[in-house]
Amino acid sequence: MGNTTMENRTPLFTSSDWDFETLEKVYKEIENVALNDLGLDTYPTQIEIISSEQMLDAYASIGMPLMYEHWSFGKHFVREGNLYRKGLVGLAYEIVINTSPCICYCMEDNTMALQALVMAHAGFGHNHFFKNNYLFKQWSDAEGILGYLAYAKGYVSRCAESYGMKEVEKTLDAAHALMNHGVFRYERRTKSRLDKEEIREERRRENEERTFNVLWSTLPRKGKEGEASEEEKEIAKRKKMLNLPEENILYFLEKFSPAFGPGENWKREIIRIVRNVAQYFYPQRQTKVMNEGCATFVHYYIMCALHERGLLTEGAMQEILVSHTNVIAQPDFDDPRFNGINPYKLGFEMMRDIVRISTGIDQATNKPCSQEQLDEDKEWFPGIAGCGDWRSVLKDAWANFRDESFILQFLSPYLIRKLRLFEIFDDEKSSYQEVAHVSDDAGYKAVRRDLAKQYDLGLIDPNIQVVDVDLRGDRLLRLEHTIQSGIQLDDKDRDMTLHYLRQLWGYDVSLESIHQRSGETAYKIVAEAEGIKVSK
Amino acid sequence: MRIIDRRENPKGKNLPNRQHFMRRTGRYIQDLVKESVRKRNIKDIGKEEKVSISSESIREPSFHHARGSGRRKAIFPGNKEFSRGDRIRKPQGGGEGGGKSGADDGEGHDEFAFTLSREEFLNFLFEDLELPDLVKKSLKEMTALKPRRAGFRRDGTPATLDIGRTAQMALGRRIALRRPKNEDIEELERKIATFGKLDCLSSEEENELEALTRLLAYVKERQKVVPWLDPVDTRYRNYEEYREPNTNAVMFCIMDVSGSMGEREKDLAKRFFLLLYLFLEQCYERIDIVFIRHTHTAREVDEDTFFHETETGGTVVSTAFIEMKKIIDERYPPSEWNIYAAQASDGDNYSGDTATCVLLLGKEILPLCQYCSYVEIIEEKERDLMRDETIGNELWMAYRTLAVDERYAAHFAMKRVGKSSDIFPVFLELFEKKDAA
């Protein structure tokens, strides 16, 4: 335990009941380890004690303390409530929000030992990750989010008053359907400041109207025969002006949709709100393994440190370890409880493995690794093997990677063997699945690469872009879906989503699915007012 | 670092969202609720209702990959015996689970089940109506004299002797009057006995012995004077008579089932009966429902038969009242039961019978009943025509003489119902709090 000596100090608490004084005392000790030993860098923390009912509330509004009203949150509320009351799921011990100050909701039912665990987990683990990871730095505005949500909530309810909840709901439903296609994946020109949003909206109207005058003004007439090249030039010019192709569909609709005439600009603002919320959560979708791994690693390290210093009773430590073990449980693929790879487990194990690689000491047994193992590490991780300074390696990883790149960079053969990972190849046409790779020399690289891919949102979310707006008369909005590895869209949801898209666009919308490899068109469908039409 | 206690903050932040959700699912739930009213017994309706709606209606679609589509690779943990190249037959139905498709799949369940509260259920049942606090309104209730415990008294019959309180009083008295305990006497006797073992007593010892003997005599005397139990100690349970609302009610549902009553009419009637039941349920511990249906003859039947079986024949309303009177005489003495009656009919009656009906109602039935209501079910298109209460067919007009008669007005009410949304307001009017009570 590095710089600490074995002091025989009295435990911070002996009762399982918590009180505010003890919370504060324990928090100080946790902070001591977090800052002085691990060297974490965090936003100020705000611990909020809530009841289980409030926790259910928070669940339903995607963890945010305030949110605009929408029936879908009610639906999630009903569902979570059902599961909870049936005893199928427990509630989370905490919810943490990427804000500054970093808000951690802790349940009042937690014992003191759990509160300690939770404070370390959320108050320092998640908090450090939020503050330092490049995606969060780049995309989400921790200072502004709560103010923005307050604005959004107020805006939506004002709209509901002015235009009726039904109208607002229609727009929200449609925008929600496109939420995953409402984010910028690559760096934007300027980072948006959420706290400036309200001021921006003030100036919105005049700006907007100038922008979509392009579509509102007289439309270009079709040229004569033989003037195709002129026409094509025109299209190219227009595409450039509209910044096409564009994968952020909500952004495109917000800026250019001709459906919203004068007096309907509030719909653009609602789309923007949905888009901003999606963008705010986008980094979290990309860093599940890392974020949870970081928090789990940090709480485990801190709790062990406190225990070693005699600040936790054996009983409290036992309780903490039970919770910790539950959190990182990973059922095997053939276990009925199996529900994919547990991000807590994968993240925690990978980070512990980084400590092992850096120090050459097996973390489970606390003994030096075998020579064979050291050689393997040296071969796979020449940069960090045996460097000793695992704190820097971890902090660097937490700051500069997302799940996909983190796995690609740091998943070791040791861990692949430990988790006994294997790869299945599945072709919908075949009646068999094939074991493509197992945890052996021939398989490590492939398993690592393909596991990383599993966390690549670029592959998880279908690749759909706005490619053109046919301005020559029908204002048809053309989308293109690139099919990778023959993976098709779920057609029922696709049609429903297109229907919503058509509603937001106001005119017909077409979607063309094109195989990436061959460039062949699989199908083309058009969402018209009367319904969905499929053509080859 | 700050610690904030948020527990006192308002809960139910999601109530508006739940309401939006309910409204959205409204149409589907409404169908289910109507279905449930049709299928279930009156007594079961209005309990908490579990509804399952297909998640279709509340689907939140998005562009996402179809499960198991295309060629894909997925990593799983916990390999046991697989080696490279092994083949695994796909499970039936082709679901391969996990993998890429799992991550972005929005809806996992086909059915979405949740429980409607009683209030939500009733809201859906009478769709565009507000459910008021109607259940709190109470009618003039039949009262019965009942004895109730009311403290203690000094005299009474041995059967009402309260032993605990009596013993308590005795103990208090014994302590206050310093009644010697048996142990004290034993102690004295033991001491005296020690002197008896000695052959020769010193004068001092003799004095002591004498003192002890005198004391013993006094103590024994005192024990007699202060008895263990004295008549002043006895306490008896006191009972007071008080008027208690009768907790039993019987509800007579009377319906014309002759050919002119179709499904629509019966459905409307059922809703009316249902409301009456729900209302009475709030006021009484026990409710019996008696179903009497009639054509030209009347018969008591079970609920299922009442609502679902048709019978042909003429229409003689008075037969139902005769049947009702008979049942009251046999099973429901008015001194013990609150009697309610609700009659639903399309207004037809055998022309010679109407006078008999009014006579029966006025002389025999109404004096026994807490309340009687008559609901005439009319065609929807007739609603405007029938707004005027002073016109109507024979039965209506005849009943009206009762309704306007001040002897009966507090016990009898009549209304017309043309469609389901009429029922509630009509019900409300019928059951408005009566000032007379």
- Do B311 and B356 have their domain in common? yes
Give yes or no for B72 touching A (CB within 8 A).
yes
Interface test with B, best of A45, A56, A75 (most B CBs within 10 A): A75
Which residue did the predictor score with more confidence, B382 or A124?
Answer: A124
Interface test with B, best of A84, A447, A490 (most B CBs within 10 A): A490
Give yes or no for B88 touching A (CB within 8 A).
yes
Give yes or no for B100 touching A (CB within 8 A).
yes
Note the pLDDT of residue A388: 86
CATH code at B334? 3.40.50.410
Note the pLDDT of residue A210: 52
B61 → closest Cβ in A123, A177, A433:
A177
Q: Lowest mean pLDDT: which of A171-180, A267-276, B360-369, B424-433?
A: B424-433
CA distance B301 to chain A (A): 40
Q: Which of B186, B203, B238 is the last residue of a domain?
A: B238
pLDDT over 90 at B197, yes or no: no
Number of domains chain B is built from: 3
- Do B345 and B418 have their domain in common? yes
In-domain check, residue B386: yes
In-domain check, residue B332: yes
Which residue did the predictor score with more confidence, B371 or A495?
Answer: A495
Low-confidence ranges of chain A (pLDDT < 50): 1-6, 189, 213-226
Q: Across the interface, do A426 and B99 touch by the CB < 8 Å criterion? A: yes
State both tokens at B248: 């039993």
In-domain check, residue B388: yes
Q: Which of A184-188, A289-293, B328-332, B423-427 has the highest mean pLDDT?
A: A289-293
- Do B231 and B271 have their domain in common? no
Q: Across the interface, do B21 and A71 touch by the CB < 8 Å criterion? A: yes
ipTM of predicted complex: 0.83
Q: Where are the domains of chain A?
A: 20-133+287-321, 145-213+232-285, 328-458, 462-535
At B132, is the pLDDT very low, low, confident or very high (cuts 50, 70, 90)?
very low
In-domain check, residue B72: no
- Do B339 and B419 have their domain in common? yes
- Do B181 and B252 have their domain in common? no
Note the pLDDT of residue A372: 92
CA distance A463 to chain B (A): 9
| Domain enclosing residue B204, as ranges | 152-238
CA distance A501 to chain B (A): 10
Amino acid residing at B100: K
Per-chain mean pLDDT for chain B: 76
The mean pLDDT of B356-361, rounded to a whole number, is 84
pLDDT over 90 at B274, yes or no: no
Note the pLDDT of residue A25: 92
Residue position matching structure tokens 């943490």: A96
Q: Across the interface, do A426 and B71 touch by the CB < 8 Å criterion? A: yes
Interface test with A, best of B21, B62, B82, B115 (most A CBs within 10 A): B62
Residue of chain B minimizing CA distance to A47? B3
Note the pLDDT of residue A390: 94
Residue of chain B minimizing CA distance to A465? B63
- Do B255 and B212 have their domain in common? no
The mean pLDDT of B347-375, rounded to a whole number, is 81
Q: Which of B216, B238, B260 is the last residue of a domain?
A: B238
Note the pLDDT of residue A405: 95
In-domain check, residue B216: yes
Q: Which of B191, B212, B238 is the last residue of a domain?
A: B238
Q: Which residues does chain B have within 8 Å of residue A42's beta carbon, measured at their own beta carbons?
A: none
Give me the percent of chain B exceeding a pLDDT of 70: 73
CA distance B10 to chain A (A): 8
pLDDT over 90 at B137, yes or no: no
**Which segments within A417-462 are labelled E, that is strand?**
422-427, 432-437
Which residue did the predictor score with more confidence, B130 or B18?
Answer: B18
pTM above 0.90, yes or no: no
- Do B234 and B280 have their domain in common? no
